[in-house]
Structure 1
Amino acid sequence: MDALTIPRLRARLRSPALARRLAAEALRDGPVGQEARERLGRSDVARPQGILLWVHAPLGTDPLALLSLQDLLEQELDEVHILLTTDALPEAVTGSATGTMISQHPPLEADRPVQRFLDHWSPDVSIWLGTVDSPILLGRTAGRNIPLFLQDAVAPDAVGGRARNVQRTMFGLFDRILALDSRHSDGIRGLGAIPARIEVTGPLERLHKPPHSLEAEREALAAQLHARPVWLAACPSEPEVGIVLRAHAQALRTAHRLLLILVPVADHIGPAMAEELVSHGWSVARREAGEDPENNTDVFIVDCLEELGLCYRLAPVTYLGGTIAGGDVQDPMGPATLGSAIIAGPVGGNEEPALAKLAAADACRRISGAKDLGPAVIDLLSPEAAATLSLHAWDTASEGVDVLNRLTHHVLVALRGRGL
């Protein structure tokens, strides 16, 4: 009796009643029926032609990290499709097929659903993320000689007896184990996993591509600025425009030639914003009106969101709009990849994880509220202070590259070994 026999027997004892319930639910329309069919190993989505990379993420993952992996693979291969099985994606994503990424619930941990799942999808390579669960699914996948990789590998809690044997056997089914850190690597090795198959890479993260900008445009605008000090307010929400202008007025007392580049949250509000600022005594130029910043221009409105990358490259300091009074927040990795020091308020919104990561690496200046924006701008107008933040931000935005490159290498070797 091998180490996986006991958990398989337990799964078989539990599965009949659940399978009967799922079979009844599978006849229904809507998300309930769709999930039930997927749990039974059936799918409403056909297997795409070509290479299929199956990613199993029990605890969820960032889909954009998988798209980054896909991009790197497609630099060497024809079109690569990704199947993601997880219970932890938002409902709007789970069970969908978008472009070349398909998302499904994993099959029930029982022989027939697992066999149907593998028969239907017939993946060329499988990557498991984080926790090693589902011994039947894992064992049947290995039994079909599908290359298996464990990324973001973590060591399980200490156990003994049969449970330890099960864990050792499951880890032994992976061709390569890429651990989160040395502590988890040591823990997995302590279970008896083959040391030569284990390496420490860190977590799988999305590859942050710099926002688009044309070097010729940057050079032309930089020449027009005549080496003036510049800071950027990137998409401030409506209540924040006044906050930004008060901070600019405060900073002007210290840096008299300071220019504020202001990118509105939407292109169409640029004209009205310019009129409002002029009515309050500001000297304004608006890019979409064909106006260039002059020596006496206080505010340069760039009312074209597509040029946000250009603005990041021009301004050594960026305030991320929406982080003081709330609103949509731009991806902070945009300015991070283009060398602009970031100021952000306490409201991170959907970008809070990225902002917290940057702040922890001393790569972002977090402020408590509106009164702190002006002093933060003044402080970061010092080239040394801004350079320190932007250098740390670049390092943080780039740190996932090696992990992606390493995983891409292993997947390519496995695919070529299968003649693909």
Structure 2
Amino acid sequence: MRRSFLLWLRLTLAGLRKPGPLALRAAQVERPAGPLVWLVLSEGTEADAALVARRLGQLRAGLRLRVSAPGAAPAAALWPKGTETFAAPEESPAGIARLLARWRPDLIVLVGNDLPAAVICGAGKVPVMLVDACPGAAARPLLLRGQQRALLGRLSRILTRDPASSVALKRLGADPAKVEIGGILAEPPVPLRCSDPERASIAQGLRARPVWLATAVPEAEIETVLAAHTHALRLAHRMLLILAPDAQEDAVALAARLEGEGWAVGRRSLEGEPDAEMQVFLADDPGDYGLWYRLAPVTYMGGTFTGAAYHARSPLEPAALGSAIIHGPRTAPFTPDYTRLTEARAARAVASEAQLGEAVADLLAPDRAAILAHNAWAVTSGGAGAVEAVARAILTELDAARGSERE
């Protein structure tokens, strides 16, 4: 096992402090009967860890869970019935030792990127595993890297989000034999619904017309979207743009404006369905997104150039329904979702508004749009598989730990 003088010094100095109130409060709670797993959460991991906890409860009746998180105790409503939640105890070896002596967990599971030294080094014979690990790309100072290497060396098993995270942890000093890819923990989004007969009817009317969708387009991006459509029409003169304005009440004025500029325009609230002559169809009912995502092989996520959309849509909506995604650089409030899609090569990012038309035209090729759409679907559907894999890995470690205790 790797050793670090600085880690030893850090724990020695921390050991001079008395146990903190959070650790003392948690240590007053008796150990429940049966197998016990302590989930130690990093900041921002609560929702994903709760998915794993719920699956653990389904797979193993009688399993008891205790969960600690930075700041306040996690909300009990997210967790399986019987889960006990606590605010994370202070990083004091004395406090952690008292807590572990009282709880006597069979397994400690760290969720996220935090490596609490007092917990890892104070666990003794209790195995500690790390799941949902995704270390950042920023280089750590040399002194911290030595401590991190020593802490990683004490872990029994490490499950990362993706291949890049596995490589990064191995470089940081994790034992390659203990590192594996668990996947990105997520609950698959429920696909937006639509009327199948209506979808079939509109699809029949469109026949082989190329179609693209622009969602929640704010006023500041209307000209950008129309310029992109003009560019795409040079390659496919029958192409249809389904344009959903950010504010549906803007549709009437927008229709009049577009007609004045010479566009053949229709409105969902007026004509109902696009016809063969329309170049732009205004989707002015936000309840119809499930229909448009299914009909349009390509979707531009409105507001991602200007950040001005008040009703921005999640990119996981089109991803779950097989529409290839184009977006600009301003991805809030869905930045984590865009990051997941980008890492999986499941979305096309364009740096400037001038590039939108080129991206739309490029994705007119069905094979290119299909690749993005397939990768995006894999992202939205793969979260459940990752939850299953991580839950089963935890149970494997738990069974091994309890088996070694009985021997």
TM-score norm. by structure 2 comes to 0.70
Work out which of the residue numbers 235, 241, 254 in structure 2 matches 1:276: 254
Cα deviations by residue, 1:103-138 (Å, 9 ceiling, x for unpaired)? 733433232355348858x86753214667444423
Residue of structure 2 in register with 1:330 after alignment: 313
Distance 2:33 2:331 in 1: 41
Q: Residue 324 of structure 1: SS of its match in structure 2?
A: coil
Residue of structure 2 in register with 1:258 after alignment: 239
1:349 equivalenced with 2:332 (yes/no): yes
Distance 1:165 1:357 in 2: 27
Cα deviations by residue, 1:233-259 (Å, 9 ceiling, x for unpaired)? 122233123322333344334433322
Q: 1:320 and 1:52, CA in 2 relative to 1: closer, same or farther beyond 3 A?
A: farther
Work out which of the residue numbers 56, 61, 83 in structure 1 matches 2:67: 83
Distance 1:86 1:207 in 2: 23
Distance 2:329 2:133 in 1: 33
Work out which of the residue numbers 106, 111, 127 in structure 1 matches 2:109: 127
1:273 offset after TM fit, Å? Answer: 1.5
Residue of structure 2 in register with 1:55 after alignment: 39
Work out which of the residue numbers 142, 157, 181 in structure 1 matches 2:166: 181
Residue of structure 2 in register with 1:26 after alignment: none
After superposition, the CA RMSD in angstroms is 4.7
Work out which of the residue numbers 34, 41, 48 in structure 2 matches 1:65: 48
Q: 1:189 and 1:371, CA in 2 relative to 1: closer, same or farther beyond 3 A?
A: closer
Is the CA contact (8 Å cut-off) linking 1:154 and 1:185 kept in structure 2? no
Is the CA contact (8 Å cut-off) linking 1:48 and 1:81 kept in structure 2? no
Q: For 2:265, give the aligned amino acid.
A: S
Distance 2:5 2:153 in 1: 11
Say which is worse superposed, 62-71 or 321-330, in terms of deviation: 62-71
Distance 2:343 2:396 in 1: 36
Give unmatched runs, 5+ long, in structure 2: 80-84
1:296 equivalenced with 2:277 (yes/no): yes
Distance 2:65 2:41 in 1: 16
Work out which of the residue numbers 161, 186, 202 in structure 2 matches 1:206: 186
Residue of structure 2 in register with 1:104 after alignment: 87
Q: Residue 229 of structure 2: SS of its match in structure 1?
A: helix
Distance 1:82 1:303 in 2: 48
Is the CA contact (8 Å cut-off) linking 1:73 and 1:80 kept in structure 2? no
Where do residues 181-260 of structure 1 align in structure 2 (5 Å cutoff)?
A: 181=166, 184-185=169-170, 187-189=173-175, 195=177, 198-201=178-181, 204-209=184-189, 211-214=191-194, 216=196, 218-260=199-241
Higher relative contact order, chain-length normalized (CA < 8 Å, sep 6+) = 2
Q: Residue 188 of structure 1: SS of its match in structure 2?
A: coil
1:278 offset after TM fit, Å? Answer: 3.1
Residue of structure 2 in register with 1:170 after alignment: 154
Q: 1:229 and 1:163, CA in 2 relative to 1: closer, same or farther beyond 3 A?
A: closer
Distance 2:377 2:118 in 1: 43
Distance 2:267 2:293 in 1: 18
Give unmatched runs, 5+ long, in structure 1: 23-36, 88-93
TM-score norm. by structure 1 comes to 0.68
Matched-pair identity in %: 29
1:344 offset after TM fit, Å? Answer: 1.3
Distance 2:236 2:33 in 1: 60
Is the CA contact (8 Å cut-off) linking 2:39 and 2:68 kept in structure 1? yes
Aligned residue-pair number: 375
Distance 1:104 1:336 in 2: 36
Say which is worse superposed, 364-373 or 10-19, in terms of deviation: 10-19
Where do residues 264-413 of structure 1 align in structure 2 (5 Å cutoff)?
A: 264-265=245-246, 269-281=247-259, 282-287=264-269, 291-327=272-308, 329-352=312-335, 354-355=337-338, 358-359=341-342, 362-395=345-378, 403-413=386-396
Is the CA contact (8 Å cut-off) linking 1:62 and 1:206 kept in structure 2? no
Cα deviations by residue, 1:329-353 (Å, 9 ceiling, x for unpaired)? 5333433343222211222234445
Distance 1:183 1:241 in 2: 42
